[in-house]
A and B are shown apart, each in its own frame.
Chain A
Amino acid sequence: MKKIKSVLVANRGEIAVRVIRACQELGIAAIAVVSEADRESLPARMADRVLCIGPAQATKSYLDIPTLVAAALGAGADAIHPGYGFLAERPDFAETCVKHGLIFIGPKAPHIRQMGDKLLAREMVAALHIPVIPGSCLVRDLREAAKFGEKTGYPLLLKAAAGGGGRGMKILQGPEELKILFNEASAEAGAAFGDDRLYIERYVPHARHIEVQILGDCHGNIIHLFERDCSLQRRYQKILEEAPSTVLTPEQRLEVCEAALLIARRIRYESAGTVEFILDQDEGRFYFLEMNTRIQVEHPVTEMITGLDLIQEQIRIAGGNPLRYSQADITTRGHAIECRINAESPERQFCPSPGRITQWQTPEDPLVRVDSHCYEGYVVPPFYDSLLAKIIVHGKDRWEAMERMQTALSHFLISGVETTMPLHRRILMDDAYRAGKINTCWLEKVFLGDAKG
């Protein structure tokens, strides 16, 4: 395995900044690639070299595999870090990198492919005797889906076989909804993933989203870094994440982390990955949801409680190095919370709010971390996702972390674009949230339903 001396960062926004910083801390040169819309972005300013790869349109820049690989080869990079989103979970990207002698800083292509097909993943996990949500295999058409509904009863969840992220996902309260939504879900899945296959599973209404961080190396060592609780979601998009989860008993924590390890070991997983579970709070049972074969947006929450730098570990692992930690080395300290600050207007159905940032003053506190690509004067382009910053706080317990987050939110001053900060301030003051009495539907159905978000 060749030593990594230079990394091309095939992404934009805060994760590009995060990866560039990790490279530079390791003494590795970072090459940023930017679309025309991102020439003035922070990654472009920070990187050791910048290459403009194409127009603003992502399909012609950040999603263009031949161009990205040609840029890496032309600039003499040894490796490519895909970040999250864009090409991070495209097995053909990982394959093209390897074919041209580049190290892909992530899992092997077959791992991405196997876990990316949600039906294949379910089958593999069920064979390990890990519970998957009771559900059907593929449903080929409306008739097959209706038959399944008759047999098991409603509510049900219709999901895309090819991917997560809420696209193609529909909650079905009864057979009438199935008729209306089946074709819609199929079309949505087809448009998002180029694969319109759907499957149905039992819908778990009082669920917590619990996910386990995994790290594996190419020598067969695999460890977990405990769990994150990402139950605060809107339209299946995570809004606020924390670790550790306050609802798990020590036995449940052990159970879920062991299950995640079992899955990762089964495929000899390499790099950072996340195994997602649903905790049915009515039954107190876990079900496997899916595995994400990438670094996730919310990875800093785990970094704050374990003290590891996950991006640096990803790079070390990709360079062929064995994990520097055994499972016994991994302990957690205190509690961490992350709030995702988006350039969206909570008052206008979370409509995107691009534009120039006229004021950008981040909170100053050694236990507050802000991961962002923004600065005063930066113009948020309308072409990409609306994440502006992640605020991550640490406290000795959940109470202290919540207090610190409230202070951080009140000291974070952003003008020029509308943001989701007011929503986060309200969540942090809410009694149900503070008491931890929430589930994956709470934000949308109860909180935003009542507060007219």
Chain B
Amino acid sequence: MESRDFSDALSLIEWMKQSHLNVLHLRMGSLTLDLKRVAEEERKTDMDPAGNIEQQAGKPILSPRLGIFFRSAKPEDRPLAEVGQRVQADDGVCFIHVLDQRYCVTAGVQGQITKFFSQDGELVEFKQPIFAIQGQESDEIKQS
């Protein structure tokens, strides 16, 4: 590795520290860089709403995209899931509407739904917490 490549790698590490990324794979010519965040940083900004969620409510599940939050496919339908309901990782919990497209958000983890953070028709941002799940076997959150 040349010294310039080394300083570029340092710049990338510096940049990643400031970002919200957990993993970074980079290949440039013969140089391959794999970075992984091992400890969650203390830094929580106003724009990191996951940090503001009460932990006792369970693990916040983050919206995989920006769009309009709905708990049911149509207004007259029953919500996909209710607070207190036990869900499997691949159970649908709510929908995010992006113009004419409707995306189903799955629980991502097995457990009990403890809270919804958004109301029907509300705009949610990318990675905004939309509901919380109290995990059973694992607290690990797998976002699809």
By a beta-carbon cutoff of 8 Å, the part of chain A in contact with chain B is 36-37, 39-40, 44, 50-56, 61, 66-67, 69-71, 74-75, 96, 100, 348, 353-356, 379-382, 417
Contacts and interface: CB of A to CB of B under 8 A. Distances in A.
B45 A39 contact: yes
B38 interface: no
Contacts of B127: 36, 52
Contact of A51 (B11, B21, B66): B66
A126 B12 CA distance: 49
A40 B46 CA distance: 10
B32 interface: no
A356 B66 contact: no
B19 A381 contact: yes
Q: Can you list the 9 inter-chain pairs with the closest CB atoms, starting with the nearest?
A: A74-B123, A355-B11, A52-B125, A66-B99, A379-B18, A52-B126, A70-B98, A66-B98, A379-B15
A356 B11 contact: yes
A418 to B, nearest CB: 10
A353 B123 contact: no
Nearest to A61: B126
A354 B15 contact: yes
A417 B8 CA distance: 10
B66 A355 contact: no
Contacts of B66: 51-54, 67, 70-71, 74
B68 A56 contact: no
A112 B21 CA distance: 36
16 contacts: A36-B126, A39-B45, A39-B47, A51-B125, A52-B66, A52-B125, A53-B126, A55-B126, A67-B98, A70-B99, A74-B123, A355-B11, A355-B14, A356-B14, A381-B15, A382-B15
B144 interface: no
Nearest to B18: A379
Contacts of A417: 11
Contact of A70 (B20, B21, B68): B68
Contacts of A53: 66, 125-126
B65 interface: yes
B30 interface: no
Interface in B100-117: 100-101
Contacts of A44: 47
B51 to A, nearest CB: 13
Contacts of A66: 98-101
Nearest to A53: B66
Interface of B: 4, 8, 10-12, 14-15, 18-21, 45, 47-48, 65-68, 97-101, 123, 125-128
A51 B20 CA distance: 15
B12 A36 contact: no
Given A53-B126, A54-B65, A356 B15 contact: yes
Contacts of B128: 52
Given A52-B127, A74-B123, A67 B65 contact: yes
A74 to B, nearest CB: 3
Contacts of A39: 20, 45, 47-48
Contact of B21 (A56, A67, A75, A355): A56
B94 to A, nearest CB: 16
Given A54-B65, A61-B126, 6 more contacts: A51-B66, A66-B98, A67-B98, A70-B97, A74-B67, A382-B11
Contacts of A50: 47
Contacts of A348: 4
A56 B19 contact: yes
B129 to A, nearest CB: 12
Contacts of B97: 70
A54 B63 CA distance: 10
B125 to A, nearest CB: 5
A354 B101 contact: no
A24 B6 CA distance: 42
Contacts of A356: 11, 14-15, 18
Contacts of A51: 66, 123, 125
Given A39-B45, A66-B98, A348-B4, A74 B14 contact: no
A356 B12 CA distance: 9
Given A36-B19, A39-B20, A39-B47, A379 B14 contact: yes
B11 A354 contact: yes
A39 B125 CA distance: 12
B81 to A, nearest CB: 23
Contact of A37 (B8, B19, B67, B98): B19
Contacts of B126: 36, 52-55, 61
Nearest to A65: B99
* A52, A56, A356, A379: residue with the most chain B Cβ atoms closer than 10 Å: A52
Contact of B47 (A52, A75, A354, A380): A52
B141 to A, nearest CB: 16
Contact of A71 (B8, B14, B123): B123
Nearest to A96: B99
Contacts of A52: 47, 66, 125-128
A382 B21 contact: no
* A69, A70, A96, A348: residue with the most chain B Cβ atoms closer than 10 Å: A70
A70 B99 CA distance: 6
